[in-house]
């Protein structure tokens, strides 16, 4: 398992984790036009790319997220698939999707796991790297 934060051209960090030949990459962006800071609603969009670097076909069965706000309040979210799909990834294939997360504070973090199923019927968890949700230009603080 490896975690590597790096920067995109727009200076948004890219977070990566690799588990059992499954690479998960995440980029998050603040969505100002869907946020209402005066009412304690900060909206974030995140793009996830899942790459199968292995030799066998795998399927994403479910997800489990831990979302933590700036006051260190944690929320667990789980469910089948992602964005209404349970994608199957053959060797060297990738799946990309975008989703969103509202926060009651101006910063926070997300992390989680995908439950994956191999052709042989083996279940395993692929790590979703922890990534930061911080307003652009705002001072960063540890959550």
Dihedral sign, Cα of residue 16, residue 47, residue 61, residue 21: negative
- C-alpha 100/C-alpha 77 separation (Å) is 13
pTM value is 0.86
Query: Which domains can be identified in the chain, with CATH numbers?
Result: 6-131 (2.60.40.1470)
Among candidate residues 47, 22, 8, 42, the one with its CA nearest the CA of residue 113: 22
pLDDT tens column, 72-101: 999 999 999 999 999 999 999 999 999 999
Mean pLDDT value of segment 27-51: 96
Mean pLDDT value of segment 61-65: 98
pLDDT tens column, 94-116: 999 999 999 999 999 999 999 99
């Amino acid at each position: 398992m490896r975690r590597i934060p790096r920067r995109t051209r727009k200076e948004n960090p890219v977070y990566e984790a690799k588990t059992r030949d499954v690479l998960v990459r995440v980029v998050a962006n603040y969505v100002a036009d869907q946020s209402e800071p005066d009412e304690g609603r900060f909206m974030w969009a995140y793009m996830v790319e899942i790459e199968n670097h292995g030799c066998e076909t795998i399927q994403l069965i479910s997800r489990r997220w831990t979302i933590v706000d700036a006051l260190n309040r944690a929320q667990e979210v789980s469910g089948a698939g992602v964005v209404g799909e349970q994608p199957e990834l053959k060797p060297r294939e990738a799946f990309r999707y975008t989703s969103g997360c509202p926060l009651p504070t101006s910063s926070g973090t997300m992390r989680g796991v995908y439950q994956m199923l191999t052709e042989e019927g083996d279940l395993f968890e692929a790590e979703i790297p922890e990534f930061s949700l911080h307003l652009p230009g705002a001072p960063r603080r540890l959550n």
